[in-house]
Amino acid sequence: MAETLLGILAAAAPATTAILLAAMGGAINLQAGIVNIGLDGLMLAGAFVAVLVAAQSGSSGLGVLAAAIAAGVIGWLFSLTITRLDANQIIAGLGLNLAIVGLIGYLLPIEFGVQGTYLPAGLKGLPSLRIPVVDALPGIGPILSGHDPLTYLSWLSVPIAAFVLCRTTWGIALRATGADEEAARAAGIPTRRWRDLSTVAAGVFAGLAGAQLSLGVVTLFNKNMTGGRGFIALAAFYFGGGRPWPTAAAAALFGVFEAAAAQFGSTGLAPQLVQMLPYLVVVIALALVGWRRAWAGQRRARLMLAAGSSSDETAP
């Protein structure tokens, strides 16, 4: 039992990476007032560009950089439809997902002669980093050591995002934009610019997440490789209310259940039930968030009614 648990935790670290990166970008975007439904498409674009550039250049690092830039540019274009053209965020996000899936689905057979999986010659994946002292520790070593660089970057992104959002003037301006755009604009904050920048950041994070899937988890591209992780990331930052630490905790929870599903898949359980497990957790988590907010709203209403009754009784 202990070995199974340690195996799940060791597998959860790379399984959490893509979800955590995309969720952190979505959390930053949410703080500026944009609910980014297009994270899954941005991840897929990042995964595709990472494989293309890594194969052509022979460098996985350049592939990761290109994925971040490409997804950031797409995120900026996506933001312009919202901030300049007043497009509905939900419709625009779903449209972005469908457009990227359709474009890649067109390019694979037409330009590369493949249908679903693209594995170019000379493609190199991300290296595994071994931490000398930690790697030798029993039990903990496989959990903390031996992962790709983007996994460690995803861990670092949480305190960095928390510091920037809460301790810098940039973060205050961005959060003010999301809290009350009209008041922020009246205070001289360029709200459109901050919303655009937050969406670019979300694109960069999602592009890194896609690169981790195509160069870190496997060394190829598949048009279905995101597996809905962008929507799981959406649930994670929604569950965390756009705050970095609760968002990271939710992403880690989903990563653990994804790793557990893979572990239980080798025990003879029905594969359909195993594959359903991470998405079932997402549904339960969102239901809990809805219940918590409804309960909080009812509690506030009761307190307001009680305060109003008290004031009526004490009035002359």
Domains, the chain: 2-314 (1.10.3470)
CA atoms lying within 13 Å on the CB side of residue 264 = 16
φ, ψ (nearest 5 deg) of residue 21: -60, -50
pLDDT of residue 316: 56
CB count in 10 Å sphere of residue 135:
14
Amino acid at the residue 101: V
Whether the Cβ atoms of residue 195 and residue 66 lie closer than 8 Å to each other: no
Whether the predicted pLDDT of 310 surpasses 60: no
Contacts of 255 (CB under 8 A, 6+ apart): 12, 13, 15, 16, 17, 19, 20
CA–CA dist 88, 74 (Å, integer): 17
Residue 6: band (very low, low, confident or very high) from pLDDT cuts 50, 70, 90: confident
Residue position matching structure tokens 């003010």: 176
CA–CA dist 294, 176 (Å, integer): 25
Whether the Cβ atoms of residue 118 and residue 135 lie closer than 8 Å to each other: no
CA–CA dist 55, 63 (Å, integer): 8
pLDDT in tens, 269-303: 665 666 666 667 767 776 777 787 778 778 877 87
User: What is the pLDDT averaged over residues 83-95?
Assistant: 94
pLDDT of residue 139: 75
User: What is the pLDDT averaged over residues 143-170?
Assistant: 93
pLDDT in tens, 26-61: 999 999 999 999 999 999 999 999 999 999 999 999
